[in-house]
Amino acid sequence: MNSSQTDFDVNRGRALLSRPVVNKGTAFTEEERKALGLEGLLPATVDTIGVQLKRVLGQLAAKPDDLERYIYLQDLCDRNQTLFYATLASDPARFVPIVYDPTIADACLTYGHIYRRPQGMYLTKEMKGRFAQVLRNWPVKDIRFICVSSGGRILGLGDIGANGAPIPIGKLQLYTGCAGVPPEALLPIHFDIGTTNAKLRSDPLYSGLRSEPPVPDEIDALVDEFMEAANEVFPGVCVHFEDWKGDDAIRLLARYKQRYLVYNDDIQGTASVVIAGLVTAMEIKGEKLARQRILFAGAGSAGIGIANMIAEEMVKEGLSREEANARISLFDVKGLIQAKRSDLNPSQQVYAHDLPPTGDLAQAVEEVKPTILIGVSTVGGLFTEQVIKTIARHTDRPIIFPLSNPTNKAECTAEQAYRWTDGKALVACGVQFPDVEFNGKIFKPGQANNFYIFPAVGLAVYATKPKRIDDAMFIAAAHGSASQVSQSDRKEGMLFPRQDHILQTELNTAAHVATSIFDRGLATVERPANIRTWIESLTFKPVYADRG
């Protein structure tokens, strides 16, 4: 059989039905069925995508829990990509938490046990010297984004190695589901460097390498080759680093950000969504960020990334960098980060101040007197009633951001933050807590979830093809997101836009980021007359193409 006949067969009959990018299932018309060799391979009724969606929703409703819904939706994506994204678009507030956080945490914990079929690519340290060769096995050649994770620090789960494979898959699904980035341009990769998790290594169903990770110098050599190979095989690709161990994350971002299109969502995306929430909170309070005092519970890559971006925002408001740094304090597992500690890395030393040592968070709050308390500790319940009431004594409207996830890792619940401050707190959490009724008022706690940011930044980068990616793009995204929180929503304590119309929200944010890219001369494409309209014209739409 010659190659043309092979290509013909791939686009006909049962082979066509096995290709999720083009498969329409029961929505193939009678004319398409005749033309494409599908007669007899499908039930008689020709469905609209609306009817198919109704069937999907019915099957999802019958599932016993969200993990089973996650598994069903991933199977749907493997069968019919268009219908999968139509499902997400039908109710993003319902389905984003299923395909990503918090349900994806359960998917990661059980990945080796629920594995169905490969999604994306799986590179290992054993492939060193052959990364370019292996990457060429991917059938799509015009890849614009790679999301790559080592599984070294997944959510609040720690090092789970190859069980972290769902993370880059889910992240890129949100690129498309929340911002319309064309899915064919996206490649999720799990980079298996081994895991420190001995329990997983002994699990007979674990799907990754059963060895410890190499030392940092060896990791750098592996990632150096990967970055070179990725840019050789997919010229102009943007590499999104996700859920690498904290020290690796900070080091690798610094190593590559001036050489390649690269960003780290745990550092820059998390910082950006926090800035977005703080911008809204400052507008509600009628105050400047530069006048606040911030205390972080947690001093890893996420905490440092947020602190650095807050400092940049304070500098924009008129402070020197030294003055901005002085308003930010950190607290980690060993206590308050202060000048006399000798165990700090360079990124932490910036925020080491002349404060008395303490390993008690409530005492640290008493010393720092923060107006903003941010939790990135992954220690569930760390924000006790004493901690919250202490901060409330020093400011009329404390800003409480318990950002750790999944839910059992949250430093406190939204209900606790409101109750312990007599309803005065402005609250955003890493997971979506339900509305809270307190003293006859309904509060709607926001979710400081990165999906407000990284899909929009991705769409802006996809459209403008910038020369580099920098923090200014994430600050622009933060302001773009914050500008879409209505006055009525702010009165209910909301710090982020509603999730019901996330696509339009992300398009507006992407246009804000793209405008910044054009204004600063970083784009490599011609500036359109209407950036918002142009951005939308480039997006993927979950509708069936004519195959007749």
Instruction: Return the half-sphere exposure (C-beta side, CA atoms, 13 A cut-off) of residue 60.
Output: 24
Q: Which of 24, 70, 85, 100 is catalytic?
A: 100
Active site residue 544: no
CA nearest neighbour of 461 among 269, 251, 246: 269
Q: Name the residue type at position 294.
A: I
228 vs 487: CA distance, rounded Å = 48
Q: Residue 373 pairs with which residues in a beta bridge? A: 295, 400
Instruction: Classify burial at 312, counting beta carbons within 10 Å of its beta carbon; exposed 0-12, middle 13-18, buried 19 or more.
Output: middle
Alpha helices in 80-151 (DSSP H): 81-90, 92-99, 103-109, 111-114, 131-135
Query: 327 in helix, strand or coil?
Result: coil
Edge-to-edge strands of the sheet including 186-192?
121-124, 186-192, 145-149, 238-241, 261-264
Positive or negative torsion for Cα 387, 451, 274, 347? positive
DSSP string, 198-229: HHHHT-TT--S--S----HHHHHHHHHHHHHH
In Å, how far are 166, 275, 276 from 100, measured between CA atoms? 9, 22, 21
DSSP single-letter state for residue 158? B
Active site residue 288: no
In Å, how far are 36, 110, 255, 310, 377 from 447, measured between CA atoms? 46, 25, 31, 19, 17
Q: Which of 24, 85, 125, 171 is catalytic?
A: 171
Active-site residue set: 100, 171
